[in-house]
């Protein structure tokens, strides 16, 4: 089973007359709210620093974008960029998971894991345009690919995140403190499987179904070819994997996916369901934005039985 590329691809290109999105636009978050598609995307301009832009669409294909970014670096913790947004709507408000790429260690005390210049951050908004920073999921370690579940589970907020090379689960009572003791690994690379044998990471917001949380994730092999796969997690304890198909659902094939600022990449931060269709938006080659779709029932059946 494979996702279906939209014939209008790529659906968003860099703007050659812009200073901040001149070279690359990629790795978008997209949600559907009040009858419109809302996109937040990573962009790189003349200084090669990543910023997050905003665009809106009626059909999910043709986009009107804001002239200036809605989130950009503010201090040493994110001086090299704010990256890879994933927006979750909960109770009429919006929470963005994004990566801060900085030059300095910004945590306190001794780090539990090595690093600290790649931090999993959160921001909050009531209108999708103005964002207030909330802090990080961890400090003192390199961690990313985090995304919030769209509701509380057993009273707690939950998020996927990546402690390389695995996908982990974190819990919080308030979205500002994520206790270390709550963090559990969920799944990792499968060396025998080829396409997801080296590293795995989260994708878009988990989709709640009657059979479990439907997850689209990315993975790459030793050649650094990025592909997308799927799995099903338990509704009440997402650390439990119900089923994880062996095969991938999407891989680089188009020229603009095989070649780009980074070659051989399809990377998704969005897998929303609209009218029984799953819209998977992705960055191609770390350069442009594409769209692939599939019927919701078909994708769920594959996640359950594939």
pLDDT more than 70, % of the chain = 96
Instruction: Tell which residue, 176, 298, 297, 158, has the closest CA to residue 233.
Output: 158
Signed CA dihedral, 85, 66, 37, 16: sign only: negative
Count CB-CB contacts under 10 A for residue 245: 16
For 178, the token pair is 């994520």
Mean pLDDT of 199-204: 98
For residues 231 and 244, is the Cβ–Cβ distance under 8 A?
yes
Whether pLDDT at 145 is above 70 = yes
Provide the CA 71 distance to its chain's centre, in angstroms: 16
Digit-coded pLDDT (tens) for 126-135: 999 999 999 9
Judge whether 251 and 20 are in contact, CB under 8 Å. Answer: no
Alpha helices for 140-295 (secondary structure H): 255-258
pLDDT, residue 105, reads 45
| Residue 113, pLDDT above cutoff 50 | no
Q: What pLDDT score does 20 carry? A: 98
Tokens at 119, concatenated: 């931090």
Torsions phi, psi for 181 (to 5 deg): -70, -15
Distance (Å, rounded) from C-alpha 170 to C-alpha 183?
5
CATH topology for the 14-305 domain: Tachylectin-2; Chain A (2.115.10)
In the DSSP assignment, the letter for residue 205 is P
How does residue 107 score in pLDDT terms, banded at 50, 70 and 90?
Answer: very low
3-class DSSP state of 270: strand
Confidence of residue 207 (pLDDT cuts 50, 70, 90): very high
State both tokens at 262: 């980074």
Q: If you average pLDDT over residues 188-214, what whole number do you get? A: 97
Q: Tens digit of pLDDT for each residue in 49-77?
A: 999 999 999 999 999 999 999 999 999 99
Q: List the chain domain ranges.
A: 14-305
């Amino acid at each position: 089973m494979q996702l279906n590329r939209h014939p209008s691809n790529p659906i968003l290109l860099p703007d050659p007359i812009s200073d901040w999105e001149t070279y690359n636009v990629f790795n978008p978050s997209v949600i559907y709210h009040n009858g419109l598609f809302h996109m937040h995307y990573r962009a790189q301009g003349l200084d090669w620093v990543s910023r997050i832009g905003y665009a809106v669409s009626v059909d999910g294909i043709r986009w009107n974008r804001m002239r200036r970014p809605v989130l950009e670096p503010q201090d040493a913790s994110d001086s090299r960029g704010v990256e890879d947004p994933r927006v979750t709507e909960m109770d009429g408000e919006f929470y963005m998971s994004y990566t801060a790429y900085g030059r300095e260690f910004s945590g306190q005390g001794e780090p539990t894991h090595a690093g600290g210049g790649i931090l999993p951050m959160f921001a909050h908004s009531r209108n999708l345009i103005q964002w207030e920073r909330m802090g990080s999921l961890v400090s003192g370690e390199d961690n990313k690919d985090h995304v919030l579940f769209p509701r509380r589970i057993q009273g707690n907020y939950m998020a996927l995140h990546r402690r390389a090379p695995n996908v982990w689960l974190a819990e919080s009572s308030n979205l500002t403190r994520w206790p270390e003791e709550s963090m559990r690994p969920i799944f990792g690379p499968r060396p025998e499987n080829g396409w997801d044998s080296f590293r795995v990471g989260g994708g878009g917001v988990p989709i709640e179904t009657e059979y479990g949380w439907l997850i689209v994730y990315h993975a790459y092999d030793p050649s650094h070819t990025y592909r997308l796969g799927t799995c099903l997690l338990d509704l009440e304890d997402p650390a439990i994997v119900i089923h994880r198909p062996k095969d991938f659902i999407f891989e680089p094939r188009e020229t603009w996916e095989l070649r780009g600022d980074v070659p051989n990449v399809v990377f998704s931060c969005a897998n929303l369901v609209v009218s029984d269709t799953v819209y998977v938006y992705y960055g191609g080659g770390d350069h442009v934005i594409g769209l692939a779709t599939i019927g919701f029932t078909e994708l769920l059946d594959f996640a359950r039985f594939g």
